[in-house]
């Protein structure tokens, strides 16, 4: 029987924990790190090794995944004094965080002199997709590294999309995706507030839109949690605001106008600035309802 593959996972939050759980298997020796001991405890109880730092993971694991909250943290975890760049075993680093093209390129350039290949590997599908194993997995980097990573990505998600051979290309694709979702979610809430103000039944509206040309993931996968009153989509306003900001920065660097998306971005920025950054995305409905003077509710 072949020796287990030594894999590391950094960041055991809403997205990271359910993804890392899918790597708990007899053919994997899993090493995990999170600054919160309580996040590592369930993994240690199931046979994973809880490590004291990112470099401790990279000292033990040849392949390491990272799912982290922002670019500053990602750079520190990769290249800082306790970063994976100093690890003795690491040969392949998969950056799953949404942190923008420039940050991913800096990390890749910092790892290259240590002969550590990097795959730019963000994911899409939200916490529900992470739990269900249905995430869309993106990849950009050296073809050999991308191929080596693919089987492990397919344990975590449903499909791998290869965007190119340069780290950063997958980041741009993820930002394109999140810009679309951010705009669709914001405009869906505004449109439904109009229907609600006019006295239309929200459940009938949703059924009609999803049968017609207005359908999107925002109406099929996001609005149902708003209408239910539960309003727990699973990701925060602050995270989407961060992603939209990165997307607009990328557009400016490419000299691409974003007239409509900039307008939608203002709504998410406003919500985050009003103390809602830590709240669920679906709570944006509260602002929209207040401005419209109408509740968006199902039966």
Could you give the residue numbers annotated as active site?
174
Identify whether the C-beta of residue 62 lies closer than 8 Å to the C-beta of residue 91. Answer: yes
- Tokens read off for 142: 């050296």
- Among 52, 126, 72, 64, smallest CA distance to 89 is for 64
Identify whether the C-beta of residue 23 lies closer than 8 Å to the C-beta of residue 7. Answer: yes
Identify whether the C-beta of residue 233 lies closer than 8 Å to the C-beta of residue 269. Answer: no
Identify whether the C-beta of residue 6 lies closer than 8 Å to the C-beta of residue 25. Answer: no
- Which residue do the tokens 């759980």 mark? 21
Bridge partners, residue 10, by sequence: 33, 66
Instruction: Give the strand pairing for 92-95 and 28-33.
Output: unpaired
Query: Distance (Å, rounded) from C-alpha 84 to C-alpha 20?
Result: 18
Question: DSSP letters along 48-90, please?
Answer: PEE-SSHHHHHHH-SEEEE--SSHHHHHHHHHSTTSGGG-SS-
């Amino acid at each position: 029987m072949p020796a287990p593959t030594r894999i590391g996972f950094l960041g055991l939050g809403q997205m990271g924990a359910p993804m890392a759980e899918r790597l708990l298997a007899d053919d994997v020796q899993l090493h995990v790190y999170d600054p919160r001991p309580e996040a590592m405890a369930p993994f240690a109880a199931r046979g994973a090794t809880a490590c004291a730092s990112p470099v401790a993971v990279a000292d033990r694991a040849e392949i390491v995944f990272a799912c982290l909250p922002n670019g500053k943290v990602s750079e520190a975890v990769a290249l800082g004094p306790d970063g994976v760049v100093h690890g003795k075993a690491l040969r392949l680093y998969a950056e799953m965080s949404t942190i923008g093209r420039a940050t991913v390129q800096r990390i890749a350039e910092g790892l290259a002199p240590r002969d550590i290949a990097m795959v730019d590997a963000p994911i899409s599908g939200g916490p529900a997709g992470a739990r269900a194993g249905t995430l869309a997995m993106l990849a950009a980097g050296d073809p050999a590294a991308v191929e080596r990573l693919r089987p492990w990505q397919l344990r975590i998600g449903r499909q791998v999309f290869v965007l190119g051979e340069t780290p950063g290309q997958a980041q741009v694709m993820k930002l394109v995706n999140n810009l679309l979702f951010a705009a669709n979610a914001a405009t869906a809430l505004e449109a439904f507030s109009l229907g609600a103000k006019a006295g239309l039944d929200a459940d009938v509206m949703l059924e009609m839109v999803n049968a017609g040309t207005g359908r999107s993931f925002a109406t099929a996968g996001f609005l149902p949690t708003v209408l239910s009153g539960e309003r727990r989509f699973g990701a925060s306003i602050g995270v989407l605001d961060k992603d939209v900001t990165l997307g607009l920065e990328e557009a400016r660097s490419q000299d691409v106008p974003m007239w409509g998306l900039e307008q939608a971005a203002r709504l998410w920025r406003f919500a985050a600035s009003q103390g809602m950054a830590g709240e669920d995305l679906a709570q944006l409905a509260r602002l929209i309802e207040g401005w419209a003077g109408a509740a968006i509710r199902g039966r």
